[in-house]
Amino acid sequence: MEPGISALRIFELTRPQIPFDFESICNFINSVFVLQAKHFSRGSRDSISVSQNSLNVCRVGIRQSQCLQLKGQMLLIGDRKHLLFICSPCVTSIPEILQFNMRMTSIPLHDVTRDIILLNQQRLSDMGVHKQLEENNAQLEVMANDLQNEKAKTEALLKEMLPTSVAQQLIAGHNVEACQFLEFLLFIWKRILLFKTKYFLTAVFQDIIV
C-alpha cells in the first residue's frame, strides 16, 4: 500500500461489525479485528489509484469468490491519532497459502497460524494415506474374489476331465502316481478307438449307399 491511500479503498472490516472509522475502532480497541481485501476489477478507479504491489496482495488468487483476510489487533501509536494493525493472514492450509501467492515465510515465527497449517497439512496427508490404503484393500478383495472364482473353475474342470479320486488328490495338492491314470487312460483310448471305428463305418456305409 502506498502512503496516503486510505485503507477503506483496499479493505473492508468484517469483524467486529462496526463502522470502519477511527472512532469506532478506538471504542473496540481490545477486540480482534478481521479485514478482508476487496475485489478489484481491471480499469476501475480504485485499481488505478492503488499500486501494483497492493493489487498483488488484495486481489491475488480470487478463487471460489474468496479474498485474503487479515486477522489481528489494532494499536494506538504515537500521539494516539494513528493506528497500527498487527495481523496475520487467515489461512489454515498449504493450498490456501499458495492460493494467495504466499509462502510460509510470510507468517511470523511466533504466530500459531504456522502450527495450525502444519497440523492441518499432516491431517490431510494422513487422510490421503488412509484413503489410498482403503483403495488398495478394495483392489485386493477384488483380486481375491477373482482368484477364488478361477480356482473353482479349475477344480470343476479337473473333476470333469479326471476320475473323482484323482481330481480330489490333485485339488488337495497331493502327488498322484502315474499308475492311477492307467485305467483312466485305457478307458479314454477305448472310447477314442470306438469313436474312430464308428466314424469309419459310417463313412463306408455312406459311400456304399451313394
Query: pTM value?
Result: 0.49
The string of pLDDT tens digits covering residues 30-40 is 999 999 988 65
The per-residue pLDDT for 208 is 44
The per-residue pLDDT for 204 is 43
The per-residue pLDDT for 51 is 46
- pLDDT higher than threshold 70 for residue 123: yes
Q: How far apart are CA 152 and CA 168, in angstroms?
A: 13
The string of pLDDT tens digits covering residues 139-150 is 999 999 999 999
Tell how far CA 28 is from the center of its chain.
43
CA distances from 39 to 10, 60, 194 (A): 8, 9, 93
Higher pLDDT, 87 or 179: 87
Domain ranges, ordered by start, for the chain? 7-107, 149-209
7-107 under CATH 1.10.1410, yes or no: no
